[in-house]
């Protein structure tokens, strides 16, 4: 039986494999629901437009298309992607010889296939990405409204209201739910409404794996805080760790990491704990220290709640001020402070790059568990929100969640719905850049990105603090990352691509 | 025999679940849902224990014939072994 770990040996033994497709990165050519690809081993240099199967250093297998051939690597891109990847020859283990589309075999030498390739590759930056929504300009896909209805039923533990649109594409619904990180949340209701859908298997798998991840994180987090307590480091669980418990079932809420606030004077002790637990230290700068360990453990250990340069930071300078003691070193935010912090954090994402359905589902549950609780100090909340300058934002998002998830769902404005549904779970780089260019103009945006102000540079390079004369050297160091660090270079290229497409603001520079 | 280090037996959403972390997770990165009897046996296997001791514990906990208890025990041990979670 072929599995991801033994593909190389099966290829060597049999001379070929036929494998089902996973993911949406090679749409429209390859659909994971129905298509398969025939791979043969390769020991020669491939050509432009060939589709190699390659294994990244982290073990992940990828099947994407060659856009350019260099002396010792390929430049590669999925047909449903715009980001380019540099793939050394030695990563490649095979090449697609043909594929089964709707059950019929198509050779990669077929003329019609080659016409598709040329068409697909002529403008990579201008590609329309297929991810389950917006098939036509101005049209609202049926999947949008139905996903919101499923989410409403899921987080409120109620029936899905019928009738529902009979033109809902369950696979598109799945892709959309994944993008918004709510697929696990709605799985149970999807299984009730579409019990015979072929998409249900992978949906169930995602839901089960999210539950598994939640349990693994619970155990690992427990071990980490146990060590922190032995070292006398006080801590407080933030954001998702608390919000996860508000969902009706364990494993419903998808997440990427755990956020824990800790006593920043003990940074080195914490670093020792995490290093001893075999974590890689991704960063010790800025608002939080970032730690990662395979296969998926990602912990953000916060030294503060917001960067000092953030517009709301003045309201969150002492996160321990009202904290409730839960144990000798364990603290928690009050319900009031948890709500205020969430609104401010939500504001940060929404105003920067957008925020998707998961944030709205979170807000609805947080509202039920804090703002709507008997005895909550609404005056205190209102004063803090006002001092943070986000009263209008709070009013706006509370209105949206009431319309989405309240007892009497009502319409959301088309512009707001469009913004939310296109954002995905964490917003988009496009939204973020669009907002800045609209406010500042392209020239100022580019200059600020290339030469960030002193307040920003303190966060990135703390040694600059109190020494503004070090700024030019810090800028050079930062620009050096663009040259030498692949991820930074890729992000910069993506930003440049977006900027080229954006018009300048009307106040223009 | 016992479960490998890193195997977690827990209850979630009204079900018993076994997953693997650490070294045990290298062989098994999925999730098993179990009934009460299977979870009872799995929890006993968290410390070194013989098949006979498991059978004795089952008979004490549940009103079950010894032969039935042994059959259940073998099925569960075989299942956990097949996914590489048992250390003999």
pLDDT at A368 over 70: yes
Put simply, whether A184 touches B (Cβ < 8 Å) is: no
Put simply, whether A220 touches B (Cβ < 8 Å) is: yes
pLDDT of residue A173: 92
Query: By percentage, how much of chain A surpasses pLDDT 70?
Result: 88
CB atoms B8 and A295 under 8 Å: no
CB atoms A220 and B21 under 8 Å: yes
pLDDT in tens, A430-459: 666 776 777 778 888 888 888 888 767 766
Measured from the Cβ of residue A230, the count of other Cβ atoms closer than 10 Å reads 10
CA gap A299, B41 in Å, rounded: 34
pLDDT in tens, A290-300: 999 988 899 99
Banded pLDDT at A134 (limits 50, 70, 90): very low
pLDDT in tens, B61-88: 998 899 999 999 999 999 999 988 998 7
Put simply, whether A212 touches B (Cβ < 8 Å) is: yes
Residue with tokens 């609202």: A140
pLDDT in tens, A379-395: 999 999 999 999 999 99
Point out the residue among A219, A249, A295 whose CB comes nearest to the CB of B13. Answer: A249
Point out the residue among A215, A220, A249 whose CB comes nearest to the CB of B10. Answer: A215
Q: Helix/strand/coil (H, E, C) string of A280-297?
A: EEEECCCCEEEEEECCCE
CB atoms A251 and B19 under 8 Å: no
CA gap B16, B10 in Å, rounded: 6
DSSP output for A194-220? -TT-TTHHHHHHHHHHHHHHHHHHHHH
Point out the residue among A212, A249, A295 whose CB comes nearest to the CB of B19. Answer: A212
Q: Among A339-343, A433-437, A445-449, B1-5, where is mean pLDDT lowest?
A: A433-437
CA gap A490, A211 in Å, rounded: 33
Put simply, whether A268 touches B (Cβ < 8 Å) is: no
pLDDT of residue A135: 38
- Chain A hits for B10, CB-CB cut-off 8 Å, are 215
Three-state secondary structure call for residue A39: strand
Put simply, whether B11 touches A (Cβ < 8 Å) is: no
- Could you tell me if the ipTM is greater than 0.85? yes
In 3D space, the residue among B12, B4, B86 whose CA is nearest the CA of residue A244 turns out to be B12
Q: Among A116-120, A188-192, A351-355, A361-365, where is mean pLDDT lowest?
A: A351-355
pTM of the entire structure?
0.70
pLDDT at A245 over 80: yes
Rounded to a whole number of angstroms, the distance from the CA of B19 to the nearest CA of chain A is 7
Point out the residue among A209, A216, A250 whose CB comes nearest to the CB of B13. Answer: A250
DSSP output for A229-262? HHTT--EEEETHHHHHTTSSSTT-S--S-EEEEE
Three-state secondary structure call for residue A443: helix
CB atoms A212 and B12 under 8 Å: no
Banded pLDDT at B39 (limits 50, 70, 90): very high
Point out the residue among B13, B21, B30 whose CB comes nearest to the CB of A216. Answer: B21
């Amino acid at each position: 039986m072929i599995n991801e770990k033994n593909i190389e040996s099966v290829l060597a033994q049999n001379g070929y494999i036929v494998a089902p497709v996973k993911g949406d990165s090679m749409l429209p050519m390859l659909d994971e629901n129905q298509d398969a690809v025939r791979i043969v081993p390769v020991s020669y240099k491939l050509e432009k437009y060939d589709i190699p199967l390659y294994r990244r250093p982290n073990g992940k297998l990828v099947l994407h298309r060659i856009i350019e051939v260099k002396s010792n690597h390929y430049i590669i891109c999925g047909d449903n992607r715009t980001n380019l990847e540099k793939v050394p020859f030695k990563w490649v283990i095979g090449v697609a010889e043909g594929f089964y589309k709707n059950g019929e075999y198509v050779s990669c030498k077929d003329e019609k296939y080659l016409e598709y390739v040329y068409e697909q590759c002529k403008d990579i930056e201008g590609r329309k990405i297929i991810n389950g929504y917006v098939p036509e300009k101005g049209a609202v896909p049926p999947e949008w409204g139905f996903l919101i209805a499923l989410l409403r039923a899921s987080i409120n533990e109620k029936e899905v209201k019928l009738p529902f649109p009979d033109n809902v594409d369950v696979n598109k619904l799945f892709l959309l739910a994944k993008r918004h990180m709510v697929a696990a949340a709605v799985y149970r209701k999807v299984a009730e409404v579409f019990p015979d859908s072929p998409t249900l298997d992978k949906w169930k798998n995602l839901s089960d794996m999210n539950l598994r991840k939640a349990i693994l994180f619970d155990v690992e987090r427990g071990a980490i805080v146990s060590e922190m307590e032995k070292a006398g480091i006080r801590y407080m669980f933030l954001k998702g760790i608390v919000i996860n418990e508000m969902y009706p079932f364990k494993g419903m809420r998808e997440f990427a990491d755990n956020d824990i606030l800790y006593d920043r004077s003990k940074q080195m002790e914490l670093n020792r704990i995490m290093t001893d637990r075999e974590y890689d230290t991704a960063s010790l700068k800025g608002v939080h220290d970032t730690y990662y360990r395979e296969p998926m453990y990602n912990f953000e250990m916060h030294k503060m709640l917001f960067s000092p340069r953030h517009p709301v930071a003045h309201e969150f300078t002492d996160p321990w001020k009202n904290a409730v003691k839960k144990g000798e070193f364990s603290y928690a935010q009050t319900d009031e402070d948890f709500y205020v912090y969430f609104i401010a954090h939500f504001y940060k994402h929404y105003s920067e790059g957008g925020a998707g359905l998961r944030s709205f589902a979170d807000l609805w549950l947080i509202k039920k568990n804090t703002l709507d609780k008997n005895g909550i100090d609404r005056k205190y909340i209102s004063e803090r929100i006002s001092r943070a300058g986000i009263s209008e934002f709070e009013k706006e998002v509370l209105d949206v969640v009431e319309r989405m998830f309240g007892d009497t769902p009502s319409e959301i404005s088309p512009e707001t719905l469009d913004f939310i549904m296109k954002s995905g779970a964490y917003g988009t780089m496009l939204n973020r850049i669009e907002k800045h260019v609209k406010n500042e103009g392209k020239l100022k945006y580019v200059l600020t990105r290339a030469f960030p102000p002193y307040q920003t540079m303190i966060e990135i390079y703390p040694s600059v603090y109190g020494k503004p004369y070090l700024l030019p050297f810090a800028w050079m160091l930062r620009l050096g990352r663009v040259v030498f660090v692949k991820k930074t270079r890729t992000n910069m290229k993506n930003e440049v691509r977006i900027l080229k497409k954006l018009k300048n603001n009307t106040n223009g520079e | 025999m016992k479960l490998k280090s890193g195997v977690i037996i827990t209850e979630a959403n009204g079900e018993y679940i076994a997953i693997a972390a650490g070294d045990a997770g290298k062989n098994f990165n999925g999730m098993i849902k179990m009934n009460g009897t299977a979870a009872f046996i799995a929890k006993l296997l968290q410390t070194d224990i013989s098949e006979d001791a498991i059978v004795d514990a089952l008979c004490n906990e549940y009103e079950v014939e010894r032969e039935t208890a042994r059959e259940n025990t073998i099925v569960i041990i075989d299942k956990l072994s097949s996914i590489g979670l048992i250390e003999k």
